[in-house]
Structure 1
């Protein structure tokens, strides 16, 4: 029997997932090891530090985290005094999330280090490679947005 399945290493979804995971792990070294945040906590802090308030639905949609992951990460962040959570008055099924001053200060301490690590990794690529990557990611996102699941 002939197997027409391509090698896993040549399968685009696999390659994309591996590259994204490796990049994410590299950044986790900064916000995780240096600041004690999980990937999910970092994603929430990143969004919340830049907004006045966000609903639980918005957080789920903008972070690729499901409701359970948002709930658990936000509970840990609230326990650390980095965010607040409250019930949305217009829809009691939703929660409102906001960053505390302590959370914003932590974000301000972490973000330059994450940016520096990102630059360090991307600088290993040629300028042409970075341009191709940016163009390819935009094209992929545009294609996915044209036909959302």
Structure 2
């Protein structure tokens, strides 16, 4: 077996995770510092602000959070008056969540600032690299979807 010590920094999955974590952490400074939102809460709010209603199962699937994370983050958002959650009438194991007017207003106020932070990071890349990154992420997500279907 080949010696793998000291190669973590060149291991693609590790590098991708570090980049994603760093990018996410930088964005969380915008919505977290002044508004006390966690990354999980921001993901839920982001999704719910664009939908009429979303079930707990759909939130978990679309945000890549597990059911416990969705449950805890949604409870915190509900406690802050940013979303509502009701037991689904067709399936009592599910909850149906909706964004409140206050939640939508907060999201609408934060999104331009979060977008500006993301843009400021990405603008440090040459345009050619940004385009390559976008193409690469699109291709990687497609490959992951294909692998999941196989």
* TM-score relative to the length of structure 1: 0.96
Residue ranges of structure 2 left out of the alignment (5+ in a row): none
Rounded Cα–Cα distance in structure 2 between residues aligned with 1:2 and 1:82: 52
Partner of 1:106: 106
Deviation, 1:6, is 6.7
Q: Which runs of 4+ in 1 moved over 2 A?
A: none
1:16-59 Cα distance to aligned partner (Å, 9 max, x none):
00000000000010000022100000000000010000000000
Residue 65, structure 1, aligned to residue 92, structure 2 = no
Rounded Cα–Cα distance in structure 2 between residues aligned with 1:38 and 1:2: 41
Rounded Cα–Cα distance in structure 1 between residues aligned with 2:2 and 2:13: 22
Residue 138, structure 1, aligned to residue 138, structure 2 = yes
Secondary structure of the corresponding residue to residue 94 of structure 1: strand
Residue ranges of structure 1 left out of the alignment (5+ in a row): none
The aligned runs of 1:26-105 (5 Å cut-off) are 26-105=26-105
Aligned length: 149
Rounded Cα–Cα distance in structure 1 between residues aligned with 2:148 and 2:6: 26
Secondary structure of the corresponding residue to residue 52 of structure 2: coil
1:32-88 Cα distance to aligned partner (Å, 9 max, x none):
002210000000000001000000000000001000000000000000000000011
8 Å Cα contact 1:53/1:96 also seen in 2: yes
* TM-score relative to the length of structure 2: 0.96
Deviation, 1:96, is 0.1
RMSD: 1.4
Rounded Cα–Cα distance in structure 1 between residues aligned with 2:79 and 2:86: 14
Rounded Cα–Cα distance in structure 1 between residues aligned with 2:4 and 2:105: 53
Deviation, 1:91, is 1.0
1:101-133 Cα distance to aligned partner (Å, 9 max, x none):
000000011000000001100000000000000
